[in-house]
A and B are shown apart, each in its own frame.
Chain A
């Protein structure tokens, strides 16, 4: 080792505390960068793996009218020219009518079972996995949806593993006069129906309702059943229903989806252009955005952008913090040794040698600190991920339901990415040397004479001299108290003030270190506030289970197409006067049936019933004074300034209604004993603004008041039973109502304003906040007790759009069993109802809100943990920085302090001088720190602005207090250590010091 090398290592050893703090600072920086990046990479890797498992590795899907194009593009090289690979194809073979599939148990909303041939590794490309059996390997094997299996339906159709089935399939022919797609329809298109007015819709409505498409060219083919799948996936669902798969390349002329991978693509636009370049004749191109996003191939998404912006801001904060810490440490170490450098220069050391000595110091510190930090960062991330894994799996994967086993073996683990480690290393080493640059230049400038003569520890500029001269000229007594510090703390304070006003740097380094500390701590706090705002977008659900049901009296169950139409004709119909009477009697029956269902549900073991309600959608006329801003999207303006919004009416049983009243703070009797209709309005809802895509708290009711609610409406004698909002071109719009289609599929359709309407006056006497109401809705909602609602005539005309929901709590230990019991109870209800009222359709469901809540809570804990770790490290960096700066600036002035003490400065005066100086640094540090952190806070807030509208920016006072406290602690510790170095016992030592 050279002389300079030895000189450097010796000085590192001599200032062991400072060396250790500096190494720790470098290590912390490397740790933080590594931890942030590797958490991001690991999380992303997990999402990527999950997306792969869920929907495969395809990146673009190209729809081709003719399957031959796929093979052609491969042969003529246009695929490889575009840089794309054909990973798999799915091509239409035909469509099976459910009539031809045997008895399958009804409750089936699908129009057809599509029959498709696949080619390629569909398991990894499309994520097509079997629940039972295996994928087909030849054209005489078939993979069926599990819901068709005999095991599921309980019928004997031969849909089981190993059995041979004969499928009858045909081609879809568009309805007459609608041959604009060549007459034939493919699997990407929805079910075609044409109503009496010739309006076409492809909304998946059932064939018997209107003039519809037909199946032609029927033929049969036999297959061996080799497997079943049960998981929903993009590849298995078509425009008209589920799919049966066989292994067969695309036939010429068959509609085909070509699934592509574009290995070199950097952006989603590149993926798209590669796909269109390879297939210029494609009908449509679809991108696998959820996968591309996790691969870093960007795609628009407000939440994703917010997240990216937060990570970027945090990265900037971290890097600034690290540079400030390391820069300070090195700068101090060089300033402290300026005299030594001068001495070395005087005995012939060149500038290069001096600079190299400083660079060597940096290299030694980085050489120890960076690997240490990276290892610690990986370790900390691995530990945090290991802790988070079970919670994460529960919240992210827990809800996938049956068939979720495809995610088995997936776990959130540390993904070590060489690139990331290299990046963290390069970044921190770069930071070290960037911080070294100024000190290095300064070391090179050490002049022999100046530094040997110069025993001064502080630098004084012209201004300082001018001030000193002015002080001598002034009439003031020499030691009259100066500055605030002088007035409060006597001579010590006065000396501190003089020091501050005459010294060149004015303690800038210390103030800067404190400012950075305050900024870091406040930013950590702001991050916490921000994240909790983000996670608050999820509603808090005040009960564990919701069981819902929907009964369609007029709609036949089962799949007998032709027969169903004639049934429909006989069923209590819609368009005549008799229908209304029938609807009236059915209404009471349905309400009774729901009451019975609720009773059954209440009797399930370990369930605590909370109440039930029925609700339906209608419209209302609301005075401007009562309408909240949020209704703006879906209300029709009326000439007199009132408006007509869509309105949900909830009729609650007494228990639920009483609870609502007590939450809102009114006496239920105010409504239950009223002669005229009164209700509670649901005031706010937290929802996505459809125009901007951001979340915000939206107020639906501006105030209480009288409104009018549509009790019934008809056009040409036909009752209008469902309503929708029709957006005009200019953003305004109006509400339309439609009647149920009659036997011929004819349907009345009319703007509500032109219909014959019956309106009821309702007095909205209170408004329930978001937390008080039981569910959130995008529409104005009014709640009234069921008994009174029935009496006042609500709901009678809208029976067919009315849905039931029961709110239940349960023992959380018995969650799973309770869920099954609730399913059993609802299934029992629907089968007995269908038996009692043949030809009805009953839809039921159970949602376990408690487990979604748990998932959300888990997610919040994970996010909190990571932000906490981040904050702790930031705080450590900040404290190390303050410590380093203050102790060093004190140590640097040891000799000066020793002189003061030797000529009789007592310990108390000394302490008050140091304290006054620190308060000075602290005050400025605080001012700059608070300003800087407000800027960072605003930036964070703006980053979130794309997701959350009304996340108002607030000064985090608690964190300001906390950072103040921590800054005081850091200052206290460093001053204590600094004073320890300057203890009066060491005066002689300090005086002997050169």
Chain B
């Protein structure tokens, strides 16, 4: 069953001379529990596609359906609610809130949703991410790999419908990269967490069930290599 379906999505940035067609009539569907890798040259529109799938930006035209519902039919406020409940976002530069400690950063989406933190889930995640001893640390006390684990924890905390990661290992060494990817893949395998990862790393792409490659805002190939 498709959890996410994108049709005829177009995104144009800027005006006049500056006008860039970052995404050009893209359509695709992602099945629940799938692990999809998106590859492509820099500037080919990968991040744009990811942002539109995550409800962070609004498309110029086209629709995004999540669980059959039109994401961009929502108001800005409802869109924010959508982001914190249905989506887990992970960026290249961890993007943690500097004044919040590890557990606060991880549970921020829960707090924003006005819900009570599920301590069991938090402990479980902290243990799995190897952050049990770092709960009270602020981001500037952590290494890059640890910060990215916190970001992953934050993305998984709400058990979102889909996790979207934009070059999550782009800023890490090989050892850390592998550990991070293993954590993501594990959540995909163990809990059926739908996962979309943008990457330049061929090894990582080969871990995915499906690889989509992009060029100039279009999908040029879409291969299923597993399942």
Contact = CB atoms under 8 A, between A and B. Distances in A.
A414 interface: no
B151 to A, nearest CB: 9
29 contacts: A455-B93, A460-B98, A460-B138, A464-B138, A469-B137, A478-B103, A478-B104, A478-B107, A478-B111, A479-B104, A490-B114, A491-B114, A498-B99, A499-B99, A502-B138, A896-B97, A901-B56, A901-B80, A902-B83, A903-B84, A903-B112, A904-B80, A904-B81, A904-B112, A906-B76, A987-B56, A988-B51, A988-B56, A991-B91
A333 B48 CA distance: 30
A72 interface: no
B172 to A, nearest CB: 13
A906 B47 CA distance: 22
Interface in B95-109: 95-104, 107-109
Contact of B117 (A469, A477, A503, A909): A477
B133 to A, nearest CB: 10
A464 B99 contact: yes
Given A472-B101, A495-B99, 4 more contacts: A456-B140, A465-B137, A479-B110, A988-B56
Contacts of A468: 99-101, 104, 136-138
Most buried by B among A469, A471, A473, A903: A903
Interface residues of A, number: 43
A457 B56 contact: no
Contact of A902 (B54, B58, B103): B54
8 interchain residue pairs of minimum CB distance: A904-B84, A472-B136, A469-B136, A906-B80, A904-B83, A468-B101, A479-B111, A899-B95
B81 A479 contact: no
Contacts of B103: 472, 478
A469 B140 CA distance: 13
B223 interface: no
Interface of A: 455-458, 460, 464-465, 468-473, 477-479, 490-491, 494-495, 498-499, 502-503, 895-896, 899-909, 984-985, 987-988, 991-992
A777 to B, nearest CB: 71
Contact of A905 (B80, B116, B122): B80
B66 interface: no
Contact of A907 (B76, B99, B140): B76
Interface string B115-127: 0110000100000
Contacts of B112: 491, 903-906, 909
Contact of B102 (A472, A490, A987): A472
> Interface range on chain B: under 10, 10 to 19, 20 to 34, or 35 or more?
35 or more
Majority SS at the chain A contact face: helix
Contacts of A499: 99
A904 B138 contact: no
B139 interface: yes
Contacts of B58: 985
Given A502-B138, A905-B80, A458 B104 contact: no
Contacts of B56: 901-902, 987-988, 991
B21 interface: no
Contacts of A502: 99, 138
Nearest to A906: B80
Most buried by A among B80, B100, B140: B80
Interface of B: 47-48, 51, 54, 56-58, 76-77, 80-85, 87, 89, 91, 93, 95-104, 107-114, 116-117, 122, 135-141, 154
A502 B77 CA distance: 29
Given A460-B98, A902-B54, A988-B57, A479 B107 contact: yes
B80 to A, nearest CB: 4
A882 to B, nearest CB: 23
Contacts of B154: 903
Given A455-B93, A984-B76, A498 B140 contact: no
B185 to A, nearest CB: 22
Nearest to B134: A472
Contacts of A494: 111
Contacts of B104: 468, 471, 478-479, 498
Nearest to B111: A479
Nearest to A984: B76
A307 to B, nearest CB: 51
Contacts of A470: 136
Most buried by B among A472, A473, A479: A479
Nearest to A466: B136
A901 to B, nearest CB: 7
B99 A902 contact: no
A901 B135 CA distance: 23
B77 A907 contact: yes
A498 B100 contact: yes
Given A460-B140, A470-B136, A498-B104, A477 B116 contact: yes
Contact of B109 (A473, A498, A904, A988): A904
B217 to A, nearest CB: 15
A202 B36 CA distance: 116
A503 B99 contact: yes
B108 A900 contact: yes
Contacts of A503: 99
B81 A906 contact: yes
